[in-house]
Each structure stands twice: as structure tokens, then as C-alpha cells.
Structure 1
Amino acid sequence: MTGAVGFVTWDDERPSGGTTYNRELVAALRAAGTEVAVRALPGSWPQPSREETDRLARALTDHPVAIVDGIVASGAPDALARAVAAGHAVLVLVHMATADEVGLDPDERDRRERTERQALHAATTVIATSRTAAADLTRRHDLDDVRLARPGMRRGAVAVGSDPPRLLALGTLSPTKDQATFVRALGLLRDLPWTARLIGPHDAVPEYATDLATLVGESALGDRVSLPGPRTGADLEDEWHAADLLVLSSRTETYGLVVAEALAHGVPAVVSAGTGAVEALGDPGPDGHLPGCAVAPGDAVALAAVLRRWLTDPSLRTALRRSARDRRQRLPGWDTTAAVVADLLAEVSSRPGAGR
């Protein structure tokens, strides 16, 4: 058994808020002096095979203390329970409640809800990435003490935008992210100048990506809406550089790390009301404006109305851009997130029997 903190996650490296959070947290913990051993497990999480569950069990017993990504932990509550009973501390980091994925059949949704509840009750500590998520997990699973470790952010270069204005959607093409509502809203704005980029992996829900491309064509938007796939590194920075507005039309969001990423580039955002993405917008700036606004999820007409106002009101665009740039200066770094998690690691390590 190694003394390093284990960080157990899925080996799915498709770009997402969860994979970004994990990568940045591990880097910040290491930079602060915490030894971290990453264990990226293959498998069909959160629906693991017996072999995959056994692999998780071994990973947990290799470390006195381990952080486990919620998508892995929720699929194998018995492995967590055995590790904790044997004296290992297991902290579950929940990026999204697995039963909230849109499009699940009722039996699978119920199974995910049940096994996630069992896993979180078996864990030593549960960590949520937003106040919204912490409150939801507390209510949903009858938990007593969900801890909060909100994402940090790296400030990027301030976006310069495009002419005509460029709207950006960034996330896996899926029913949960619901880019279709965004496309339907754009179909109501053909009379105005704009372009849109819907960036994200196509292979998570291939049939949805195919249907979305069909919808773009049927809406006669093929010359203005592009679906280029995922972007990372310098290519993603180029996308932010040219963006004027982020549109996040998700049906559900724990936090919406992409919103913070937009603000880190001085780009305002339109997000789904009633989700954690509203929390990610933060507080109003000195002028009283939020760096964006919220629209009811799934309502293409309401989203189109908000976008029409933004496209036709230069003073609104200026105010939101100014607020986003102000918020950019106040975003916490990943060192802040790492400090919170390091305190939790020290707390669980000091409990009687931990790591025995």
C-alpha cells in the first residue's frame, strides 16, 4: 500500500467539465506538495462489469486515502463499503448525479439513483462542486454533511470576438446538453447576422449528434452553424478568442465549468435557469450587471428572444462584456480548490483508524 493519495477516475478522456476539474485539481494538489497517484480505470462506468468492479476495489485498497470520481463510485457501492470497513478513507467527488443524464430508461435511472445513494452513504466524505449540487445531493440522498469544493479557473486571454457576432456552445453533443434547443432558437433568428459553433465530442451519444446535424440542415442553417467536434489546447483558445457569447442550453448542470471558462476569457454567457450554471455566473459586477442571464431549459422561443435582444442592443452587449471582464479578474484559481480538498484529506486522515 502506497502513502500517496489515490485519485481514481474513469479513463474516458473526452473533453468535459469533469475531466478538466480532475486534471486541474490533481495538478494543483501536486503543486502544493500532496503526492497523488492517478488511477484511470477502463470500464463502462457507471455500469461496470464484475472485473471492472474488482479493479476498483484493488485500487481503493492500494491507498490509505482515495478520492473517487462519482461516475466510478456510483457504479460500485459495495467496493467502497468494503474499503471503508477495512480502514481506508474514501472521498467521492460528485461532478453530476448519474441518474440526471437525459434519455435514460426508467429502470436504468432507478438503478443509478439507488446505487449512487448506496455509494455516497458508504463513503467517508462526499464532495460536491457547487452549492447547487451539494443541496441537491443532500436532499436527494438524505446526506448529512456534503462538502463543497468549487472549481477554480485559469484566466485566458480576453476574447476579441467576431463580426458578425459568434455564438459558442461548448459541451458533449447529447440530450443532457440539449444543443437542439439552441439550434431551434437560432432558426428563429435568420434575419439577424451571427454565426454559431457547437463544439464538443460527437461519439458519446452518436445518434444524437447525427440528429443534431440533420436539424441544422433542415433549419437551413448549414452555412452559419458548424459542428466541428471537440477542441482542446491552442485550438480551444482560438475558439474563445473569436467568441462573443457562450450559450449553455443544458437540461441540467451541476455547475457548468464551461461558464467559468467563458468568464475567464471575458465572454458573457446565457445559461439554463434552475441549474448550477446560474451559480457559475457569480455575483453582479460594480455596475449591477451579471455577466449573462438565465433562460428556462428547453424553451427555444424564450432563448431566441434573449439572443435577439443581445444581438440587437449594443448597450446590452457592452454591459455584459464589461461585467464578464470584471468577473474574470475575480475568479479563484485552482490553488483555492486544492487547498479546500487538501484540508478534507487532512481531516479524514486524522480520524481514528484511517489508513490502518
Structure 2
Amino acid sequence: MARPVLYITSSDYAVRTGGYVYNSRLVQVLRQQGVDLETHCLEQGFPMVPESERAALARRLAALPHHTLLLMDHVYLGRLLELFRQMPHPIAAIFHHSDVMEHGTGSDEKGRRLFEAERASLSRADALLVSSDETARYVREQYGFSAHHIHAAVPGNDPVLRTAVGDYATNGGPRILSIGAVIPRKRYDYILDVASHLKTPGWTWNVAGDPSRYPGHLLRLQEKAESLGLTDRFTFLGDVADKELETLWQASDLYVAASHYEGYGMAIAEALRHGVPVVSTASGAVSTWAKAGVTSAPAEDAETMAQEIDRLISTPDRLHTLGDLAWTFGQTLPGWAETFTGMDAWLETIDRPAPALHGSFS
């Protein structure tokens, strides 16, 4: 008999994020594969799980057969670590990227605390599902997690219509797009510096992403945009619905990213899938898989990055050529069913005890 799976999530997991999309599609495909999967949805998972929710989850776990697999984003493993340490069930954690990269600098005191907390939480995971080979390398090297217990499955993609880039007559000039929550890791402060150096006339730049996760950060960015004289050309749209986002894709000529770190880079994959050229810094995993339609840019030289963007948007023919490369490569990226092929069989192999960890902060 196939083992049952309990997927643990929360109502306040940010919906328009790559992690949410990935996790939701995973659950959908597992059910299509015939996995006996139920969901336990916490009302609140951020920043902490209330005691009443912990107690309710504890009661449910206590009633489950011991061989039931617990599947969850690794952020919940950290928030509920003491509870899970008391339970005998095997755990598979979905690891998109490190909390050290999300909230710390990787070398400061906050980063050190995050590293130790993450190391402790991963010690209770029996297996990790990661979204790139780069992330697999990270957890092996930083936390000593055994390669035998890591499964890499890159994010899938949906079929989309191709974007007609370089149509300035219709759009009124070059349209640049960036997507992602308004958080420090996305480095929109640097992107504003880049925008301030652009020379091509008529450009506009839209940023689509949740502004609520770091209160005050959006305000500081808006103040910076005003000080740089960009308020009429650079717009933070906030969170946008899927239909509106597709409209933005169809009206865009270039996608730009400058994240400090990406565990994969789903928005870049989406750009390539649409045939929209990309200018991006190395950004963790991005440089390991985005092989065509992407122009590399420096992470600490805004003027040079702006020159790369100007080189493309000043000549629509260049955009068309790069757009062709983006579209061709984008069609080779997997769909969601392909991404999670064999996932049901992999989940069956996961058992206690967890592999020992021996990582050190670096």
C-alpha cells in the first residue's frame, strides 16, 4: 500500500511567489500521480505559528500512522522544529533557498543566527526537494546534507503566447519589467541606480511584486526614485493578478533582474518562455541554467549594467534577435508534469532516521 502524505502549509504563505507556485504545482501533480495526500493548512505561519495552531497540528500528527510522510516548505520545519522532533514521521522538506540569503548577508551576526537555526531545522529533515542543482550544492556544502537524500526538480512552466518585443510604435517606447517581492534580496535599490543611468529615450520600467513583507522598504525605494527623478518612468505596481501579469508580459520588451541570490529564478524562466530577452546579474542559480536569450550584467556597476540595457533597447533589431533566442530556449524548459515525473516513487523511498549534518558557517 502506498504511504500517506500530509502536506503542511499556511494560509499566509505569500501567494504570488515562486515558492508558492512550485509547492502548489507539486501537490497538484502528486495527486494526479495517485498519491494519498492530505493537507494541513495553518491559519498563521508567519512570522511564528501560534500555540493554538501548534497544539492542533500536534493532535493531528499524533493520530497519524508512523509511516506517514510529512511534506512541507522548509520554513515550517524551522518554525515547528520542537514539535517535529517529538514525532516519529519521516519528513521531506522543500528547500527553495536559504533563509541566510533571504534575510541576512551571509556573513553578519544575523546571518550567523539564521545559519544555525536553519542547520538545526534541516537536521530533522530526512530528505530535501530542491529546485536547482545550485541549491543542492549549497545544502551539501553549507550543511553537509547527504547528496543521496536530495532530489533536484527544476520549476516547470505553463504554455504561454509569445511576446512581440520591440514594438515601440504600439507601446510608445521600450518597456522594461522586473518581477518579485519588494524585499532587499531583489536589490531594487541597485535597479534604481541602473535606471538612473539609462540614455535611451522613452523607456518605462514596471516592477510587479508584493510590497508588504518588509514594511518601510517600499517607501525608501519610492523616495529614492523621486530623488533620482524617476517617478514618472519607474513604477512599483504592487501585487498583481495573474491576468494583469500576463498583460504586462505581452507589453514588455526586456526583463531585468539583479537579485542578490536566486535558488532558481522562475521569473527569468517565464521571461524566456515568453520570448522576452533578459538582462541579469549572476544571481545564484540563474547563471547555471539560463543559457540563451540572457545578457549577463555586473552586480556592482550600475552604469555598465545600464549600458548593456541601452545597447539592447536602443535598437529593436537587437531585441528581436535576442527574443528569438529567448523563445527557442524557453520552449525547451520543462512543463510541471515533466518536472515532477517520478516524484511519487521518490517519496516512497524516504525514511527515518535523518542523515547527520556537519556543516559550518561560512
Identity of aligned residues (%): 25
SS of corresponding position for 2:222: helix
SS of corresponding position for 2:21: helix
Which residue of 2 is the match for residue 139 of structure 1?
Answer: 141
Q: Normalising by the residue count of structure 2, what TM-score does the alignment of the two structures yield?
A: 0.86
Gaps of 5+ in 2: 354-362
SS of corresponding position for 1:169: strand
SS of corresponding position for 1:227: strand
- For the residues of structure 2 that align with 1:191 and 1:338, how far apart are their CA atoms? 43
SS of corresponding position for 1:273: coil
Picking from 215, 236, 253, the partner of 2:245 is 236
- For the residues of structure 1 that align with 2:15 and 2:320, how far apart are their CA atoms? 34
**Aligned partners of 2:70 and 2:92 also within 8 Å:** yes
Which residue of 2 is the match for residue 303 of structure 1?
Answer: 305
- Cα offset, 1:125, TM superposition: 0.5
- For the residues of structure 2 that align with 1:58 and 1:96, how far apart are their CA atoms? 30
Picking from 138, 149, 169, the partner of 2:178 is 169
Residue by residue over 1:231-255, the C-alpha shift from the partner in whole angstroms, topping out at 9 and shown as x without a partner, is: 1221111111111111111111111
- For the residues of structure 2 that align with 1:57 and 1:340, how far apart are their CA atoms? 30
**Aligned partners of 1:158 and 1:266 also within 8 Å:** yes
- For the residues of structure 2 that align with 1:339 and 1:5, how far apart are their CA atoms? 17
- Cα offset, 1:92, TM superposition: 0.6
Which residue of 2 is the match for residue 286 of structure 1?
Answer: none
Answering whether residue 272 of structure 2 is matched by residue 268 of structure 1, we say no
Which residue of 2 is the match for residue 97 of structure 1?
Answer: 98
SS of corresponding position for 1:305: helix
The CA RMSD over aligned residues, in Å, is: 2.5
Residue by residue over 1:208-230, the C-alpha shift from the partner in whole angstroms, topping out at 9 and shown as x without a partner, is: 11111112222111221111111
Which residue of 1 is the match for residue 20 of structure 2?
Answer: 19
Residue by residue over 1:64-108, the C-alpha shift from the partner in whole angstroms, topping out at 9 and shown as x without a partner, is: 01211011113333333333xx2x221011011112124579454
Gaps of 5+ in 1: 284-289
Picking from 323, 326, 331, the partner of 2:325 is 323
SS of corresponding position for 1:263: helix
**Aligned partners of 2:200 and 2:313 also within 8 Å:** no
Residue by residue over 1:89-143, the C-alpha shift from the partner in whole angstroms, topping out at 9 and shown as x without a partner, is: 2101101111212457945433321121122122111121101111011111011
CA shift in 2, pair 1:340/1:45, >3 Å = farther
**Aligned partners of 1:70 and 1:96 also within 8 Å:** no
- For the residues of structure 2 that align with 1:274 and 1:230, how far apart are their CA atoms? 22
Which residue of 1 is the match for residue 10 of structure 2?
Answer: 10
- For the residues of structure 2 that align with 1:126 and 1:19, how far apart are their CA atoms? 17
CA shift in 2, pair 1:187/1:44, >3 Å = same
CA shift in 2, pair 1:59/1:216, >3 Å = farther
Which residue of 2 is the match for residue 252 of structure 1?
Answer: 261
CA shift in 2, pair 1:340/1:59, >3 Å = farther
Answering whether residue 201 of structure 2 is matched by residue 192 of structure 1, we say yes
Which residue of 1 is the match for residue 161 of structure 2?
Answer: 157
RCO higher in structure (CA 8 A, sep ≥6): 2
Q: Which moved further from structure 2: 39-48 or 265-274?
A: 39-48
CA shift in 2, pair 1:241/1:274, >3 Å = closer
- For the residues of structure 2 that align with 1:296 and 1:39, how far apart are their CA atoms? 43
Amino acid at match of 2:312: W
- For the residues of structure 2 that align with 1:306 and 1:150, how far apart are their CA atoms? 28
